[in-house]
Chains A and B, each alone.
Chain A
């Protein structure tokens, strides 16, 4: 079972460049989400989706776009990278939209913006 797959694992960008972080899950999960992890701040929610065609903003959505055209994929787009977006990014999914469904996490992408 592949679970949640994130690519790439590492990325270096220059300020102003754009890129897409890929996330795919093969568990037919309804709910998918993106978090960023920064030292001393835990994990903060960027965007989430409760199903194909439905997305919503989390706690820190500025500078990021998402779309959910299929159940399996939930890419995160950085429109114009800034040094403040240097972080570790996690994609996570769950079978339900709340409750005791734990999140299944990908292995993360370490992004550095210079």
Chain B
């Protein structure tokens, strides 16, 4: 079974600075998909960014980008120019390829604080 590990329970960043959240995973599959979700205090789960394992290019969505290291099974999230609205829980998640009735496996989350 796949496992996802987020080793940083809490992180803090100053407004306008850059922060990187870590995620590692364990799998024997060669094709898979990785996601970062944000959960603000409202409890809503919001998709931040996704990455296909077969793509070498790192995904980017505005101020959010990933550093995907397939050999190291690492998938970190970089938030640039941090804003107060970025304060939230961030979850890394893994999903198997289509056709496998695959489940989304989550890490335990990293709580991000943004300070002035």
Contacts and interface: CB of A to CB of B under 8 A. Distances in A.
Interface of A: 33, 35, 40-45, 48, 50, 56, 58, 88, 90, 92, 96-103, 105, 107-108
Given A100-B50, A100-B52, A107-B43, A58 B103 contact: yes
A98 B101 contact: yes
**Interface of B (DSSP majority class):** loop
Across the A-B interface, give the 9 residue pairs with the lowest CB-CB distance, nearest first: A98-B102, A105-B45, A99-B98, A42-B108, A42-B106, A98-B98, A43-B106, A100-B33, A102-B47
Interface residues of B, number: 28
A88 B100 CA distance: 27
Nearest to A30: B101
Given A90-B45, A98-B96, A98-B98, A45 B104 contact: yes
Interface of B: 4, 6, 9, 33, 35, 42-45, 47, 50, 52, 91, 95-109
